[in-house]
Chain A
Amino acid sequence: MLLCLVLAAPVPAAVNCELNNPVNDVTRLFPESTSFKTAYFSFATRGGEPLLRKVESRLGGAPSLYAPLNVPYTLYEIYKGKKQIGYIHGVNQKGQFGVLEVFVSLDMAGTIRAFYIQRMAGQWARKFTSPRFGRQFVGLSIRDFERYDTVGGRGTGRVAAIENPAPEAATDFFGLLRAVKKNLVLMDEFFYSAER
């Protein structure tokens, strides 16, 4: 009976992307942090349908499995003492064999400090979750990804130079790049543009 319940218990719905273990993950992604706050934002409360269309347009207008307008996105605000030093934000993106849960930590200027794949299906997942692959994203920002074509998978500059560690998994590779761009665009629209 218990066995059935364990196996058959409904899984939580994919409503947003949260760190599985925020206390450990935040320290790993932001070693100098001393504390963090969890905040939530959604299109419904911050611009609604027009903003959603704008974000989709910046992502190339390709159809994607976006969450409804009222679904809250989770944002981790990172502090060193009382001073805020950055953010950690994750998004869900469709991958070849399942969802990709992709997080980036950003400094206050919007530059990527760390890249983290929390979830990915496929035998090549380890190649993508390796530190070597993640390091290619460090130092990039929305400016680098602005001209990245999420539909054609073509970019310029440092984005174009990002190496696919598993050529047989092109779908997942482009999914990850799209996830990072989606992440940066969302952060730009909701926070960095507003702060500028």
Chain B
Amino acid sequence: MISRFQIAYKNLLRKKMRTLLTLVGIMLSSWVLVSLLGFNRGYENALNRDIDNMGYQLMVMAKGCPYEAATMMLQGGTGLRYIARSMVDSIVDKPEVDRVTPILMQAFFDPNKGDGGGIAGYYGVDPATFPAMKPFLRFRQGGWFRDAQAAEAVMGYEAAELEQREVGDMILVPEKNVQLKVVGILERSGTQDDGTIFCPLKTLQGIAATDKITTIGIKVKKGADSAKLENALYQLPDVQVVSFTQVKQTIMKLIATARVMVLSIAIIALLIAMVGVVNTVLMSVLERMQEIGIMKTMGAMPGDIFRLVWTETLILCTCGGIAGIGLAFAFARLSDLLVRRVLPYAPGGNLVAIDMRLALLTMAVIVGVGLMSGIYPAWRAGRVRPLESIRREG
């Protein structure tokens, strides 16, 4: 016995080109929809990962204009604003704080770098707290410092490549002419750590002749109220707080406008595809009035005709949806590249994250909206009066 699906399938094949064009419309809208949903999720995941990879979500530094400080450093490494090491103690006891690490950033002028000289930047980090803050860093060679006051350095991947350094080689801190032994070279991480030269905090303090620090990195406890902690930190004298959560929110706001526009386009594409579905199925129904009339005279109930026509919609939406989702999977990498070209800031990793769960969700949306679109043509078909339709067609 021939099934309802077989009849619906054959009906769709009667007008192949019309069916194909409708399928293409559904396929494209599914592609756009699943890619957009994948982007929403992928971008947020990637941004969160980037911020987690910073190792800390909050940074405390001395009050002052960062532009001015940057300019001063570029002109010769002077004029940095420092904070006292004791500031760490006043932060670490706060209930929202998970971990704290003190950092000293120093820039030294290297007259032998290029024609007019250049700046070499060093990060003094605490061997007891900094590596634990960044457990995701992997070493290509060697490891962290063995001693809190060792004359040693760990180089980011690109810094080592640029200077052609390997573990065991020496580097020379410009201006101060202090030699440091390279004890570790990091794997490429895709972050700013790649271009950084780390050395023990106390070593760098000794080189720079200061007992102060420039920055405190703070990792907030999971689920803790970051805003409350920020407010508490602002009460500390002469410091400013840079929150990566704020940075993240700012970036998310920046892309929100673009996301709304793309979402609107996706909805419009979906609507156009569904109008196509209505058109295809309705035309098919109108062309088959006589046939539907005959089916009714043979005992088919309005519900049977409704289900038959609705099945055509279901087949169209399912096939188009599967093809669109397949394309989204196949071209996810290309979509990723295109998105990267237009975004003001693109974090590392996959920006368009599509998985089976998302694919099934999109499929449900496409089929759901498609079936709703098919209600009217199916209803029209179901209420055909058999004798009238046979007489009219005759």
Contact = CB atoms under 8 A, between A and B. Distances in A.
Interface in A117-144: 118-123, 125-126, 129
Contact of B115 (A4, A14, A20, A98): A20
A12 B110 CA distance: 17
B70 A6 contact: yes
Given A14-B161, A14-B162, A92-B164, A97 B192 contact: no
B113 A7 contact: no
B159 interface: yes
Contact of A4 (B105, B110, B156, B164): B105
A12 B162 contact: yes
Interface string B315-346: 00000000000000000000000000000000
Contact of B171 (A20, A98, A119): A98
A9 interface: yes
Interface stretch (B19-27, B39-47, B129-137, B172-180): B172-180
A8 B123 CA distance: 9
B195 A1 contact: no
Contacts of B59: 4
Interface in B221-247: 242, 247
Contact of B114 (A92, A95, A119): A119
A65 interface: yes
Interface in B177-206: 177, 179, 191-196
A125 to B, nearest CB: 4
A3 interface: yes
A14 B157 CA distance: 11
B145 to A, nearest CB: 19
A24 B114 CA distance: 13
B215 interface: yes
Secondary structure call for the B interface: mixed
A5 B242 CA distance: 12
A123 B195 contact: no
A25 B123 CA distance: 33
A54 to B, nearest CB: 23
Contacts of B162: 11-14, 99
Contacts of A65: 164
B164 A99 contact: yes
Contacts of A125: 111-112
Contacts of B168: none
B114 A20 contact: yes
**B107, B112, B113, B194 pick with most chain A CB within 10 angstroms:** B112
Given A11-B195, A13-B158, A129 B70 contact: no
A98 B114 CA distance: 13
A2 interface: yes
Contact of A8 (B69, B74, B171, B196): B196
A172 B198 CA distance: 24
B165 interface: yes
Contact of B70 (A3, A10, A119, A122): A3
A45 interface: no
A2 B69 CA distance: 9
B192 A8 contact: yes
Contacts of B247: 1
A123 B177 contact: yes
B66 interface: yes
A92 B164 CA distance: 9
A18 to B, nearest CB: 11
A93 B70 CA distance: 31
Interface of B: 59, 61, 66-67, 69-70, 73-74, 105, 107, 110-115, 121, 123, 156, 158-159, 161-165, 169-172, 174, 177, 179, 191-196, 215, 242, 247
Given A97-B171, A98-B165, A119-B112, 11 more contacts: A1-B66, A2-B67, A3-B61, A4-B242, A7-B121, A7-B196, A11-B159, A65-B164, A94-B164, A121-B112, A126-B111
